[in-house]
Structures are given as structure tokens and as C-alpha cells.
Structure 1
Amino acid sequence: MAEKSIFAGPALRRLRKREGLTQAAMSTALGISPSYLNLIERNQRPVSARVLVQLIEQFDFDPRSLREDESIGGVDGLARRLADERFSDLAIDRDEVSEFLAAAPQAATAFARLYDRGGPEAGPVNDSLAAARREIERWQGHFADLDHAAEALADEMRLSRSEIGAALTERLREKHQLSVRILPLEVMPGAVRRLDLHARQLQLSEMLDRSSRNFHIALQLAELEHRKAISSIVAGARLADDAARQLFERHLMAYVAAAMLMPYGRFLRACDQTGYDFTTLLRRFGVSFEQLAHRLTTLQRVGQRGLPFFMARIDRAGQFSKRFSGASSATILESDASCPLWAVHEAFERRGELCVQPVVVDGADAGPDHWLTFARTVDAAGSTGEARFVIVLGVEARLATEMQAAKGIRLERDAAQAIGLGCARCHIVGCRQRSLPPRGAPLQIDSTVRGLTPFEFGTSA
């Protein structure tokens, strides 16, 4: 695969101004013509390897500054922010987002920071969860060093054997002198997991099923054996408050645990061989559907990439308690409300069934809009069914043709259900499920006619 060209006009222009040089003087130092430097600064020519070397040698240039947009998640991160309903009438597409970021990366970063803080008048906000999520998305959900380390540990423990829990428990006992004890509900009424260092026990609630028990044992091993590597990644993150750092660290601990249970190479081969057959994968690796869904969003190892899934967890009110875009560039998750026509809501009434639905998303101008989605209920860990959520996975419809769960599903665009990002951001005309008119669209009220939908509206001004 050819390497992506590096366009660094704004970075070179800032460097030249910082050094107080004219284009003629800088071009002489770089051994290129002033006209060629002018083209580079206007992003009409990429930076060649030779020019990059000269920049480093002549001006002590840091090549990492060319990736400054990573702090806001690159094009995908900026596109997610510009998908906000407040900008819905502007119809900003992905090409415009790319041009904005390429031409004015510092201005784009300033916009992203202001957006993330809720605007200049918003004051301090508790956005620790959003900040941690942005850091995860900056990595596209994949942490290569942690994945390799977890895979090596899984091979060392030979976790391909059927009784994964026994191998994990033995590792905990032999290497860390910790035993695993299952305690009754009345002893652990408000917890599912507890580390008792005095008794040298990892205590787990009897309410956890086998897959959850295995995960929590793996999580304890991740904390004990990979804390240094995890702490290094957290230290390098641009997170302003302790809560965001702790949430990010907790995600990385869970990442390592999942990578132990589903080692990258073996897991990806199983995905390819079975056509991502969820039922087979669940049984082969002894995991829950939620654990499987998380793992599917992380398969971005260079040279061994899986399908780019997004994943979310949704409650009955349509609220998102988890959302991970991975490498999918999905804007379908960027809303505070979900569309009632999306099968995630139907899934609550079909407990344990996989609801498969192709959708076309209204308002997804900054990214793909045609998806195949898979939704299934899960009970909260340690609950008796009183806390229930739906896990939804999605992949671009054009990439889903070989998936086992897509068999018999029409993937043509005209066969997909049109959905929106909640009624306030949706401009689909004639939707009988609509609860609110789209924000910014003028209402059209005719006293002589009562239509089939409660709101008629025109295009935004």
C-alpha cells in the first residue's frame, strides 16, 4: 500500500515566520526554488523526504508537529464535532472538513477545544467521559503495544485450551499468590469484584456468569502485569483532569483483559474463517456479546486489519452509555438521542435475539451513511435482569457482504431503513414516528389540511 503524501503547508509557514525568513531565504536553505516552497506552503505540493530531512537538519524541525491534528482525532474527530445538530443546516461534508484541517490546523484545533469545552460562556463542565472517549478514538480504539503484550501472555498461558478460567486462575495463584473466591450475593451485595490483599483473594460475586468471571480474572492480571505499559500510555495522553485519566486507564486495563481472552492473531483468523459468525466466536472464546463487540472495534493492527466496526450500548430511553467508533468514521453515534426506527429499540422486545437491520442515516454528511447494524440485549454484569441494555454493532454495508449474519439480507441502498440522529437533527420528510420538528427548519402550518405527520417543515434558511 502506498504511503500517504504529507501536506504540511501551515506547519512550514509557521516555522518560516518564527525564523523571520522570507520564502526566498528559506527556499535557499532547503535547496529548492521559492516557487516550489510557495506551492508547499499552499498545500499544492507534498513535502518530499529530501525536504523533510533538510528541515530537520537546518531548522531542528520536529516531524511530530506534522501530526498535530492527532490531538483532536484528525479528520474523523473534527467531522464528529461538525456533525453537531447546531451545524446541521450548513451541510458540511467530509471534503470540507479535510480542507479545513489541512489549510488551518491550528484554527481547527482551536475550534475543537472551544467545542469540547461547550463554548466560551459555558464555564467548567464535567466532560471527563467525553475526554477519555476522544483519547480512545484518537488511537482508533487500537493499542498495538498492549495487544502484542496480551497476545504473548495468552500464548504463555496457552489460553487456546477450552478451560480459559482455569488457566487464568492458575496464573494468578502461581505468579501473584492470589486465589479466586466466589462469594454469595449477601456477602457482596454492592459489588461484583473485590481485591482483598489481606486474605490474598480476588473475590467475585456469584451473580457473575462464566464469561464475566473470566474477564474479571483477566482484568486483575492486566492490572498486575501490565500497569507500567498502561501508565505510560496514560501519561502521554492529553487529559486535563484526574477523572478522565482514570477512565482512560480503566479502559486500557479492560482492553488488555479482552486481548488476553481474544488474542489478536487467533481471533482475527477465527473472524475471517467464520465470516464473523457471532455465535461461533462467542462459544470459541467464551466471551459475552458485549465483550465480543468491544473487541471487534479494535482490529486495526497494521497488515492485519479486520472490518471497521462501531459499537454502542443503549438503554431503553435511547441514551448511549458506551460508544466506540474505532476506525469506522461513524457519525451515527454522535447524538444525544437515537432514532425510534432503528432496530436497537425493537431488540429490547426480542431478548437474546440478534436484530439485523441495514440503515441509511440522515445527516451523516461528514462520513459514511449506509450501514448494516446488529443489535442484541445484554444484562448488566451481576444483575438478575433488572438492568438491561442493547449492544449494537455496525459496519458499512458495502463491507458486510461476506458476513455470516448478513446472509439473506438485502444490502442495496434502496432496501435500507432511513433513520436520523434523533428527531431534532433529522430532516426525513413524512416520518410518522417523528416527535419533534428538526431544529432550525421553519414549520409550515396549513389550517386547511391535516397531514399524516404532526409536523410539516421547509428547508433551513
Structure 2
Amino acid sequence: MPKSALTGSRIREHRLMRGLKQADLARQIGISASYLNLIEHNRRRIGGKTLLALSEVLGIDPSTLSQGAERAVVTQLQDAAASDVDTLVELDQIDDLVARFPGWAAKITAQHRRLRALEQTVGGLNDRLTHDPVLSEKMHEVLSTVSAIRSTASILVATPDLGTEWQARFYSNIDTESRRLADSSASMAAHLDVLSRKDTGRATPLEAVFAAFDARGHHLVELEEGGDPHALATQLPEIDSAEARALALQYFRTYSADALAMPLDAFEAAAHELNFDPAALAGRFSVPLEAALRRLASLPRGATIPDIGLVSCDAAGALLVRKSPSGLALPWFGAGCPLWPLYAALNAPGVPIRRLIEGEDGARFTAMALAHPSGPLRFDRPPVYHAIMLLVAQDDQQDDPAIPVGSSCRICARSDCDARREPTVLTQA
């Protein structure tokens, strides 16, 4: 399996360029040489204070060490390998491909994204052909008109001795229905033409909304500055349909409410003071815990802010919000790993759950999950719950036991997993 981001390799490279011994560098930043060795071999995730200390000693910007582009390319190459089960690829050499041939790696991932976009477009069009009410109505008009014309023509053929008056009526009916058929066919063709031009790669409104979030790092500057959620929903290029705009408006209103209750500067300062503890932050700002979890995930990326991911699901387990942290890819479709605390939270609504989890490449995260009502509670109907899970990257040295998790069963190579629901396409570890 690919390792986590190549931050460790870059640290080793800059250390050797400066002629520093591993033990000397470890001593200067206050960690053990064995732990630094694990970092340099990409076997331990790094961030926060340790990353800042290393960058200071090495005399380089923290972003130079922690840039996330390579992790994204590795994840996309893994996704590309999983999508083609008939071709065997050297999964254990993906890191080397990215490091030695970044141009080719970028080319492969770009082609894979294009193929996936086309597949999603075809899937979306197929779904439209099946469920589109406009198309169903037009098809019904065409079929009913064809049936009417056929019935009228059959009467004319089967009854040659019809009087002149009746023949004129039937011919008039055929003419009227033929014109109706032409209009319905043209209308249906125009509707299909509109659908065929939507080559966005986003098959559903939800994908369009989170394409907009992903493009901005889940930090919406316009709403941080008090912008209008409705205006933003109509301005972003990723949100290209009425359905997507309606859905985006819901998420943007929630974002605006969170930003208003927890202003960015005050919240970021409090997050550092309280060590990014969502429960403490919820108490500080008098907001529900799920709001503090969302707000932490909306912080802008920075050297002093840990790598934070967020995922949420509905009561059926289908993923809604997806913000992937480095080292743990989140699937685009269906459900995620059954071992995620996200799903455990659904079994205990209202009870906060905190677990240490470990991805397949050794990246560790503190996962904090909560199931909460998705709307107001009412006496006349059962509550509907959503679950939310914050993922905060860890770079501590303790060998605390962690729950081994994956992305989804399809691209998880862990062997002997009791939660597996389908075979993997990868080599079992």
C-alpha cells in the first residue's frame, strides 16, 4: 500500500543537505532519534509543534515540508488502480512514481479524473432517463400519440366502406395527432440535448455542492465576511443546477450560522488555547457540539493548525459531507469503513465518541463522532439522526492502541477484518 504523504522523505532530504545527523536533529527538536527515523521513513504522521520545530531547525517554511499535493496524487493513483481490477499494478511503488516522475503521475491522475467524470456523467444521465419526471411525461405523450395514430389508421384500413364524412374526421384526427407527436418529439429531443451538454462529472446535486467546498478547502471566505448564502449559491461555477443551488443554500446557511456564532479570529485563538478540543470550544461559545465540530473543519489551512478532516452521514449510513485529511481517503459513493466511529455514534445518539484510529498507511487520527437530530424534535414522528465525525491528525510518539480502519472495503487491503462486506481489489496486507 502507498505510505502517507512524503513529508518524511522531504525532511530526510533537507537534513542530509545540511549535513545534520539524525540523532542531532532529533535532540534539537526534543524527540527521540528512533521516532525521527519513523518520521523520515513515512511511518509516522507529523504536524503541529513537531513540524514547526523541524522547519525552524532546517530553516525552511513548514509548507515546504507538509505540502499536500503529493498525498492527493498518491490517493488518486490508488483510486485509479482500484477502478481497473483487470490490470495488475505495482501498488507498493506508487510513492516512488510520484517522487521520481511527478509529471507522469499528474498526467495519469488527470486522465483518471476525466474518465471518472465521464462515467459519473453517464451514470447521471442514465438516472435521469429512468427517473426524470419531464422526460417521463414527454415519453408518455409520444407513446400515447403513437397509439392514437395507429388506432385511427387501423380503423381506416379495416373499414374501407366508411362514408366520406367519417373518413374526413379520421384523417383530421391523424393530422392533429401527427402534429402533437412532432411537438412532443422535438420537446423531448431538446430536453435530452440539455442533459447531454452537462459534462461536469457531477452526477448528483450533493457532489456539485461539495465540489465547491473542496475547491475552497471547506473555508468559504465570502461567508466568513458576512456574505449572503443565497448570492453565493448562485455565483459558484460548480453549482450548476437548481437542485444543487437549493441544496447548497442549506449548507451555506449552516456555515453562516456557525461563523456568526463562532467568529473566525476568536474561534481560532480559542482553538489554540484549548488544544482544538471541540467539547471545550462548544462550551466556550455556547453552541451544540456538532457545530463546534463543523467549525473546526472550516478553519483555513495553516502551519499551526493540525490536519483536520470531516465526514457526516445520514441515518442510512450514506456519506454526506466529505473533507479528507491527508492519509485517509474518503470514498465518494456509498458508505465508508464500517469500523469508523461515525457509525458507532448512530447506535448511541447524543453520546459523544472519541477513538484513536489508524489508516492503512500508518496515519493516526483522533476521531470524535456524534449522532444528532437532523431537524427539530416532534411528538408526532420519530427523530431522524445524522452522524458527524471530526478527524484530527496525530503525530505523538506514544504507541497507544488504535482501531485499524480503511476507506471502504473495495480499496482496503487489511486482511482478517470481521467488518468486511465485499472483497478488495488490492493485495491483502
Give CA deviations for 1:253-308 in whole Å, capped at 9, x if unaligned: 432222111101101111111122322211222222222221111111668x5333
Give the corresponding residue for 1:418: 404
> Secondary structure of 1:279's match?
helix
* Match 1:383 to one of 357, 361, 377: 377
* TM-score, normalised relative to structure 1: 0.51
Give the corresponding residue for 1:137: 214
Q: Per-residue deviation at 1:431? A: 2.3
Q: Percent identity at matched positions?
A: 21
Q: Distance in 2 between matches of 1:294 and 1:420?
A: 22
- Superposed counterparts of 1:390-409, under 5 Å: 390-398=387-395
> Secondary structure of 1:415's match?
coil
Give the corresponding residue for 1:60: none
Give CA deviations for 1:63-116 in whole Å, capped at 9, x if unaligned: xxxxxxxxxx96666555544342586437466457776458676444323312
Which structure has the greater CA radius of gyration? 2
Give the corresponding residue for 1:340: 338
> Secondary structure of 1:312's match?
strand
RMSD, matched Cα? 3.6
Distance change (3 Å), C-alpha of 1:227 and 1:241: closer
Q: Does 1:359 align with 2:357?
A: yes
Distance change (3 Å), C-alpha of 1:344 and 1:104: closer
Give the corresponding residue for 1:237: 237
Q: Distance in 2 between matches of 1:345 and 1:393?
A: 13
Distance change (3 Å), C-alpha of 1:104 and 1:372: closer
Give the corresponding residue for 2:320: 321
Q: Per-residue deviation at 1:312? A: 1.4
* TM-score, normalised relative to structure 2: 0.54
Give the corresponding residue for 1:258: 258
Give CA deviations for 1:190-237 in whole Å, capped at 9, x if unaligned: xxxxxxxxxxxxxxxxxxxxxxxxxxxxxxxx64xx655x26xx5352
Distance change (3 Å), C-alpha of 1:97 and 1:144: farther
Give the corresponding residue for 1:292: 292
Q: Is the 8 A contact 2:290 2:370 kept in 1?
A: no
Give the corresponding residue for 2:8: none
Q: Distance in 1 between matches of 2:218 and 2:113?
A: 20
Segments of structure 2 that go 5 or more residues without pairing to the other structure are: 1-67, 128-202
> Secondary structure of 2:237's match?
coil
Give the corresponding residue for 1:437: 423
Q: Distance in 2 between matches of 1:383 and 1:396?
A: 34
Distance change (3 Å), C-alpha of 1:349 and 1:240: closer
Distance change (3 Å), C-alpha of 1:315 and 1:145: closer
Normalized per residue, the structure richer in helix is: 2
Residue identity in the other structure for 1:377: A
Q: Distance in 1 between matches of 2:284 and 2:368?
A: 20
> Secondary structure of 1:117's match?
helix
- Superposed counterparts of 1:29-108, under 5 Å: 81-84=76-79, 85-86=82-83, 90=89, 91=91, 93=94, 96=97, 102-103=103-104, 108=109
Give the corresponding residue for 1:115: 116
Segments of structure 1 that go 5 or more residues without pairing to the other structure are: 1-72, 151-221, 402-410, 442-457
> Secondary structure of 1:420's match?
coil
Q: Is the 8 A contact 2:345 2:370 kept in 1?
A: yes
Q: Distance in 1 between matches of 2:357 and 2:311?
A: 15
Give the corresponding residue for 2:33: none
Give CA deviations for 1:16-44 in whole Å, capped at 9, x if unaligned: xxxxxxxxxxxxxxxxxxxxxxxxxxxxx
Q: Is the 8 A contact 1:144 1:301 kept in 2?
A: no
Aligned length: 277
Q: Does 1:278 align with 2:281?
A: no
Q: Is the 8 A contact 2:349 2:385 kept in 1?
A: no
Give the corresponding residue for 1:427: 413
Q: Distance in 1 between matches of 2:406 and 2:108?
A: 30
- Superposed counterparts of 1:120-269, under 5 Å: 122=123, 124=125, 126-147=203-224, 149-150=225-226, 223=228, 228=231, 230=232, 235-269=235-269
Distance change (3 Å), C-alpha of 1:146 and 1:386: closer
